Homo-oligomer: A and B are copies of this chain.
Amino acid sequence: IIGVADKPGVAADIFEPLGKNQINVDMVIQNISPDGKTTDITFTIKRNDLDKTLKTLKSNDKISFKSLDQNDAVSKISVVGAGMVTTPGVTYKMFRALADEKINILAISTSEIKLSVIIEENNILKVSYSRQGLIELKTSPYEPSPIINSKSSLGTPISWNFLTIRYPRIEVCSDGLTIT
């Protein structure tokens, strides 16, 4: 959602009708507004909620925005681990692994235990190659986790549990789309 007002209540006015319509919003990103007047909000939903979401946003007379963008050819890659916040290197190692494969990062959202990036879905194959870079993280003092979970664009789970990496766990999710 591009060009919404940067003022109290806007996020509530956007997401309350979505919640009430049983639309499950996964990732929400709002960056600091450079001019303090308008801002852009990006969120991800399940692909099959797209029509309902667009209808809800467009019929919502409490909010005004400049335009809506959507991208249903995206995937989310997350690195998850309980102790990440105390290990400065994890952030740049993940970004470096993607950079080494020339994968552009469309959006970033992080918390203490999880780093998620949105990338073009057609880069997912590259990610499976570049996981060597991510496996380097196994020297971190996280709990062991032999399982990487992945959902293909059709929702079929793929188990990559032949990899014996440790936390951070790597998750790949390709059944969503972004709305900006």
A104 to B32 Cα, complex, angstroms: 11
Residues of A within 8 A of B (CB-CB), count? 64
**Number of copies of this kind of chain in the complex:** 2
Given the known interface contacts A31-B30, A40-B31, A98-B12, the answer about A92 and B180 at a Cβ–Cβ threshold of 8 Å is no
Helix, strand, loop or mixed for chain A's interface?
mixed
* Contact flags A94-105 to B (C-beta < 8 A → 1, else 0): 011011011111
Whether A109 pairs with B109 at a CB distance below 8 angstroms is: yes
**Chain B residue contacts of A106, Cβ below 8 A:** 32-33
New A-B contacts (15) at CB < 8 Å, excluding given A8-B99, A113-B113: A7-B104, A9-B99, A12-B95, A15-B91, A15-B95, A19-B92, A24-B85, A24-B88, A26-B85, A26-B112, A29-B110, A32-B106, A32-B180, A109-B109, A110-B111
